[in-house]
Structure 1
Amino acid sequence: MTDRAVQRRRLALYLFFFLNGIAMSSWVTRTPDIRDRLGVSTAQMGLVLFGLSVGSMTGILCSGRLVSRFGTRPVTAVGTLLIVASVAVVGAGSALASAPLVTAGLCLFGVGAGAGEVAINVDGADVERITGRPVLPTLHGCFSLGTVVGALAGMAATAAAFPAHWHLAAVAVVAAGIFTYAIGAVPGGTGIRAALPASESAGPSKPQVWRDRRLLLIGAIVLAMALAEGAANDWLPLLMVDGHGLDAAAGSLVYVGFAAAMTLGRFGGTFFLSRHSRATVVRVSAVSGALGLCLVIFSDNTVVAAAAVLFWGLGASLGFPVALSAAGDSGPDETARVGLVATIGYIAFLVGPPTLGFLGDHYGLRPAMVVVLAFVAAAAFAAPAAGTRHSRHRGAGTRTPAEH
């Protein structure tokens, strides 16, 4: 690929993650309004969010095979279109006060995000291979930037008492425009595995990926950091409203702070990764996240808790993209390795929302976050698995346009 084509491809990937961030934060910031519109309890809202978890796991479990067979471009396209449609469906569910329709919309979002984001990550890892520069932290930074933009718009809409369904309809239109502009720059063929002879296809290559101890530890890091990020995405506005007594607009503002901290951490990640090992970056991130969670959970001072969200966001910002980069570099068959680690991470999105909702309904959302704190603290001890910043392996089993 020419330098210009690689630049357009990288910009397209950034736009896709930016789109996903806007779409997600738009409905997240309206969850207090949507919950009140539906008339459900915290535990019941957890079941509504379970639709997102089921969809995420469905998408993530299918994504590896779909990318290996069809390549990243069609999987990215279909996944993004599902995200656009899901925002409109959630809005319709809010307008009709239909919990099943909101659940279905979140399930669509999960399928689209679960499949599409894995494909985008595989494509981003391939751009890293071509350029020799970190791409995934900035890629995920664009997602966080999208969450900031979407959260600011959501906060303004909430403060103005603008109906959630009209707000989400407008977001769907904007997302469709971004998709139309970006999809043409993503090349076909990335991630497709060459067909193996029958004697080789029966070999132990796939089980070996699952048996790679280092890869599983990297997956544990992703699990913890995905839970930290997902807990905030799903519950932070409600946590600040129900757990710290803020109104809905102030709760959305705190979420904006979290998203801004995530954005800052991810865009600044390249600077730190060029000077420190991945293991060091992951360890410091886990400590920061744990500190922020501790203050949010145990401090009764609302200002301290709101400020601590910044540490939470900074801590959660780099764990996921850095671990995915480490997985891609950990051995041959980059698509399978990134897909496996992402699958482990999305377990957090499956069990997180309903578990935290159940615990929150019985004990309160603040005590429920102790579960998240325990996982993030454990990630600090698994950090050495992330290794150095230097790539030693590339996906020998992954065919990319540069290899045609």
Structure 2
Amino acid sequence: MTASDSAATPPSLPHGLTSRNVLSWRNAIATLFALAGFSFASWVGRIPTVRDTFDASHSEIGILLFGLAIGSLLGLVVAGKLVERFGAKIVVRACVVLFVASLAATAIIIGVLGSFFGAVISLAVFGLAFSTYDVAINLSGTANERLLGRSSMPTLHGFYSLGTMAGAGFGAAAEALHVPLATHLVIVSAIVLITALIVSAFILPERLADPPPNTVEMKIAAGELTAPKLKSVWLEPRTILIGIIVLGMAFAEGSAIDWLALAMVDGYEISNAFGTLIFGIFVTAMTATRFFGVRALDRFGRVPVLRASAGLAAAGLLLVIFSPAVWLAVIGTALWGAGAALGFPVGISAAADDPKRATARVTAVATIAYASTLIGPPMIGVLSDQVGVLHALLLIVVLAIISGLLSPYARELAGRHAYPYVDFSSPGPTSAAVTMATTEMHFVITPEQIEEAQRENARRGLGKFKRKRPGK
């Protein structure tokens, strides 16, 4: 553990946790993000081999990928409920077994059996398990972030990008050495499975990051009060607006994955190899920004960072679309990658600000973001037929600008890191209610509550209400 890690970890942790516990948990989640990127890129890198195996047209490859997309959406439907019921650790372990098994099965079905329909089914299973795994590690990551007391989600997503780069390199090497598809992806599956099962042992329950229950919650638990009926997170304006922010930035990232290399080749008449190299510049810029972006988030907060990200993405895209020279478009690609890097992880953090409904809100935001991966590629394709592939990218500029304008809705909630650390985990007959009654608690009070209390005190002729700061 480095000195910077020690400084980043709160001096007092709940439930008897130590700094080492929290940092080991963070490192485990970072590894699981890297494994996700590694496995997915390993599959994507062999799509040309799949096309050659089936002698498939672009539309037939689209059908294969549609099976993957449908499975991913089904996974998003159940992911939140599974994590809420069983916890991220169990869901991660179950899903990693399922998605590596389906990935290996897909390779065998394609490379050995040559069954197109079987590949569609196995890819749907892969998509279901992979998206559920993705939601679980994001939820576990946001819980760990609350304990760390600083932004860490961009770094975790940076490890996903590193895994993607490693998977793409491994896949390219397998292609160059003519390694059979089944051999390659079975090896990938074994690496991912063994590593994930080992590191997932360090994942801790998300509830350890929750603040202690307040008085109303204690009365509800004791049966003295009836729990209020909560409206669906899909009816919460803040959640939906955060989802739109993330959708715009995820669209900027996903569209680059699908179209950047082709847009550079067709729009600037460069070689396929140069187009692939330019896409590598995009990925490198995005990865670097995710690692260094946490400093900007901690210093300036989410809103300025999201606005700057949207501005960089839009400026970079405009350079790619309208540059008179390739070298300017390359600079634009780097700006585009840097701008697209932080939208998704920052949106996930914003959705998880309130731990009591973090699971439902993160799932909703992730579902909206994943929708962009379904809608984006075909929409860009249709527009490309009408106005050309470069001008079709103007749609992404519009969405990036919208994300920047909506960025205030991702603002940090007051007191999101102000934890009243009390250990409720020790065994014995002492109830949480007794602990609450005998322990000094510092509750975070919102500005609206302060104003309401001041109005009430003024009506009663009392003095001004003053907020008691945590730690005072």
What's the TM-score once normalised by structure 1's chain length? 0.85
Distance 1:210 1:145 in 2: 33
Does the CA-based 8 Å contact 1:123-1:190 persist in structure 2?
A: no
Alignment match, 1:148 = 165
Alignment match, 2:333 = 309
Does the CA-based 8 Å contact 1:285-1:314 persist in structure 2?
A: yes
Distance 2:312 2:95 in 1: 32
Q: State the 1:48 CA deviation.
A: 2.5
Q: Is the counterpart of residue 103 in structure 1 residue 139 in structure 2?
A: no
Alignment match, 1:262 = 286
Counterpart AA for 2:230: S
Q: State the 1:248 CA deviation.
A: 5.5
Which string of whole-angstrom CA distances, capped at 9 and with x for unpartnered residues, describes residues 158-207 of structure 1? 44554444333332222122212212111346499999779956x43133
- Select which of 82, 86, 99 maps to 1:70: 86
Distance 1:51 1:231 in 2: 19
**Match of 1:133, SS?**
coil
Give matches, 1:228-267, under 5 Å: 228-240=252-264, 249-267=273-291
Q: Which runs of 5+ in 2 are unaligned?
A: 1-16, 211-216, 426-472
- Select which of 398, 415, 420 maps to 1:392: 415
- Pick which of 361-370 and 26-35 moved more: 361-370
Alignment match, 1:128 = 145
Structure number with the higher helix fraction is 1
Does the CA-based 8 Å contact 2:151-2:294 persist in structure 1?
A: yes
Alignment match, 1:175 = 192
The number of residues matched between the two structures is: 398
- Pick which of 173-182 and 81-90 moved more: 81-90
**Match of 2:204, SS?**
coil
Distance 1:192 1:3 in 2: 13
Q: State the 1:320 CA deviation.
A: 0.7
Distance 1:338 1:224 in 2: 16
Counterpart AA for 1:384: P
Q: State the 1:91 CA deviation.
A: 2.8
Mark the CA change 1:27 to 1:290 in structure 2 (over 3 Å): closer, same or farther: farther
- Select which of 225, 228, 231 maps to 1:206: 231
Counterpart AA for 2:237: R
> Which of structures 1 and 2 has the bigger CA Rg?
2
CA RMSD of aligned residues (A): 3.4
Does the CA-based 8 Å contact 1:28-1:233 persist in structure 2?
A: no
Q: Is the counterpart of residue 49 in structure 1 residue 72 in structure 2?
A: no
Which string of whole-angstrom CA distances, capped at 9 and with x for unpartnered residues, describes residues 258-314 of structure 1? 222221011011111122120111111112222333344445755544453322221
Distance 2:341 2:146 in 1: 22
Which string of whole-angstrom CA distances, capped at 9 and with x for unpartnered residues, describes residues 70-103 of structure 1? 1111112222223323432443354255443443
Counterpart AA for 1:284: A
Mark the CA change 1:329 to 1:113 in structure 2 (over 3 Å): closer, same or farther: same
- Pick which of 60-69 and 292-301 moved more: 292-301
- Select which of 357, 368, 371 maps to 1:344: 368
Does the CA-based 8 Å contact 1:12-1:183 persist in structure 2?
A: yes
Counterpart AA for 1:319: G
Which string of whole-angstrom CA distances, capped at 9 and with x for unpartnered residues, describes residues 338-378 of structure 1? 22222222221332344445555776654543433332222
- Select which of 305, 317, 324 maps to 2:348: 324
Counterpart AA for 2:204: P
Alignment match, 2:397 = 373
Distance 1:255 1:289 in 2: 15
Which protein has greater RCO, CA pairs closer than 8 Å, 6+ apart? 1
Q: Which runs of 5+ in 1 are unaligned?
A: none
- Select which of 52, 74, 85 maps to 2:101: 85
Mark the CA change 1:101 to 1:30 in structure 2 (over 3 Å): closer, same or farther: same
Q: State the 1:140 CA deviation.
A: 0.8
**Match of 1:253, SS?**
helix
Give matches, 1:352-367, under 5 Å: 352-357=376-381, 359=383, 365-367=389-391
- Select which of 23, 29, 36 maps to 1:13: 29
Mark the CA change 1:39 to 1:78 in structure 2 (over 3 Å): closer, same or farther: same
Which string of whole-angstrom CA distances, capped at 9 and with x for unpartnered residues, describes residues 243-267 of structure 1? 6556655554333332222210110
- Pick which of 298-307 and 255-264 moved more: 298-307
Q: In percent, how many aligned pairs have the same letter?
A: 38
**Match of 1:274, SS?**
helix
**Match of 2:299, SS?**
coil
**Match of 2:164, SS?**
helix
Does the CA-based 8 Å contact 2:147-2:209 persist in structure 1?
A: no
Counterpart AA for 1:107: A
Q: Is the counterpart of residue 277 in structure 1 residue 294 in structure 2?
A: no
Alignment match, 2:134 = 117
Which string of whole-angstrom CA distances, capped at 9 and with x for unpartnered residues, describes residues 200-222 of structure 1? 56x43133x33332222111111
Does the CA-based 8 Å contact 1:50-1:353 persist in structure 2?
A: no
Distance 1:89 1:298 in 2: 44
Mark the CA change 1:139 to 1:344 in structure 2 (over 3 Å): closer, same or farther: same
Q: State the 1:109 CA deviation.
A: 3.3
- Pick which of 302-311 and 284-293 moved more: 302-311
Distance 2:117 2:266 in 1: 24
Alignment match, 2:459 = none
Mark the CA change 1:48 to 1:178 in structure 2 (over 3 Å): closer, same or farther: same
Counterpart AA for 1:74: I
Alignment match, 1:4 = 20
Q: State the 1:236 CA deviation.
A: 4.2
